[in-house]
Structure 1
Amino acid sequence: MNKETEDVQRNERPTRALDAFDRKILRSLVEDARLSYAEMGEAAGLSAPAVHERVKRLRASGALKGMQATLDGAQVGKPFLAFVHVDADGWGKSQRMIRLKEFPEVEEMHSVAGDTCVILKVRTASAHAMEQFLSQLYVLPGVRGTKSYVVLSTYLERPVQADVTHDWPQVPLPPE
């Protein structure tokens, strides 16, 4: 594996397909990770020991990465949210770009196709703090430019959902 990209998260499929019980357990955990196995079992239609075994299996497979607290940015002194597109020489998965994970302001980092290399979700205390963060990006070798999109309001922010994508009905095309 290339040394420069070994820390990059892979979008790999789980080794075992998730069934309806797994999805119900995951949905329960996303809603409230403090639920007991008995409470999750009630929602999924399984016994507490069966839920415990499934949770262990979901962790081992990587489908369940962990259980974190969800913090409110404004309440912890970081109300300023922006998405920053970074244009850099070469591909975005270089070691110099991976160093961005060291910045506590960076909540997400995505290598993308299109007119930019990397998109960052960045949360800071103020516009001034964002400006300071952006100045640090330009210190990284190869960074040519950035475009920042400041968030005015957030209508939906949630973790990955366990539910399967809906099969939306096909909208008939109008006759020509």
Structure 2
Amino acid sequence: MVKETDNLRQNPPRERPLDALDRKILGALARDASVSYAELGKDVGLSAPAVHERVKRLRRAGAIEKTMAQLNGAAVGKHFLAFVHVESSGWGKTKEVFELGELPEVEEIHSITGDSSLILKVRVENAQAMEGFLWRLYHKTGVRGTHTYVVLNTHMERGVQAEITHELTEGEHVK
């Protein structure tokens, strides 16, 4: 009995590691994802079709997860940014705490080491809205306490960077 295997992939394709051109492309896209393939090609020394193929490969490989607009918090009425360290019973990975990720005020949730088990990046309209958010947070199962750090000013905010800073080796000098 012969099995039909025309549509089956036996082994997943192995993606090659990122090279310097991939990192340049990713760096440029991280700064401005709306740049055209032609302009990106000029910056990295490739044709627009070659850049397009690399970007498609980077998407397939998972290096580019999605393309989205980076919103200005103040421009959309969310002037108040804070980081909330959550002290919880146990490890803190409760269903109720992770449901916070569904709230538009919560931008990030991270498991951390130290005195807290989670850190939340939260952006709201004002201090009163933060108080309401913290009240809701305290009523989640497993939350024992919080430490909130209010951001006074943001000097730099960006996503993951693919580019690599060249580190000097012993005896090497900056040119």
Q: Secondary structure at the match of 2:167?
A: coil
Within 5 A, what are the aligned runs for 1:87-166? 87-166=87-166
Larger Cα-atom Rg:
2
**2:32 maps to which residue?**
32
Structure 1 residues 98 and 166: alpha-carbon distance in aligned structure 2, compared to 1, 3 A threshold: farther
Q: Aligned Cα RMSD in Å?
A: 1.7
Counterparts in 2 of 1:159-174, with a 5 A limit? 159-167=159-167
CA contact (8 A) 2:30 2:159 kept: yes
Deviation at 1:32, TM superposition (A): 1.4
Contact kept? 2:86, 2:146, Cα under 8 Å: yes
Deviation at 1:138, TM superposition (A): 1.2
- 2:51 equivalent to 1:51: yes
1:133-168 CA-partner distances (Å, limit 9, x unpaired) = 001111210100000000111111111111124426
Amino acid in structure 1 at the alignment position of 2:30: V
Q: Secondary structure at the match of 1:75?
A: helix
Q: Is the 8 A contact 2:92 2:142 kept in 1?
A: no
Percentage of matched positions with identical amino acids:
59
Q: Which amino acid aligns with 2:61?
A: S
Aligned length: 157
CA–CA separation in structure 2 for the residues paired with 1:112 and 1:143: 15
Deviation of the 1:31 alpha carbon: 1.7
1:76 paired to 2:76: yes
Question: What is the match of residue 22 of structure 2?
Answer: 22
- Closer/same/farther in 2, CA of residues 54 and 93 from structure 1, 3 Å limit: farther
Change (3 A) 1:168 1:145: farther
Q: Alpha-carbon deviation of 1:70? A: 1.0
User: Measured at CA, do residues 90 and 128 of structure 1 come closer, stay the same or move farther in structure 2, by a change above 3 Å?
Assistant: same
Greater CA deviation, 159-168 or 40-49? Answer: 159-168
**CA gap 1:18/1:102 in 2 versus in 1, 3 angstroms:** same
Cα deviation for residue 169 of structure 1 reads 6.3
TM-score by length of 1: 0.83
Give structure 1 stretches of 5+ with no counterpart. 1-13, 171-176
Q: Secondary structure at the match of 2:40?
A: helix
| Separation (CA, whole Å) in 2 of partners of 1:168 and 1:141 | 50
Return the TM-score normalized by structure 2: 0.84
SS in 2 for 1:70: coil
Gaps of 5+ in 2: 1-13, 171-175
* Rounded Cα–Cα distance in structure 1 between residues aligned with 2:38 and 2:57: 17
The runs of at least 4 aligned residues of structure 1 exceeding 4 Å deviation read none
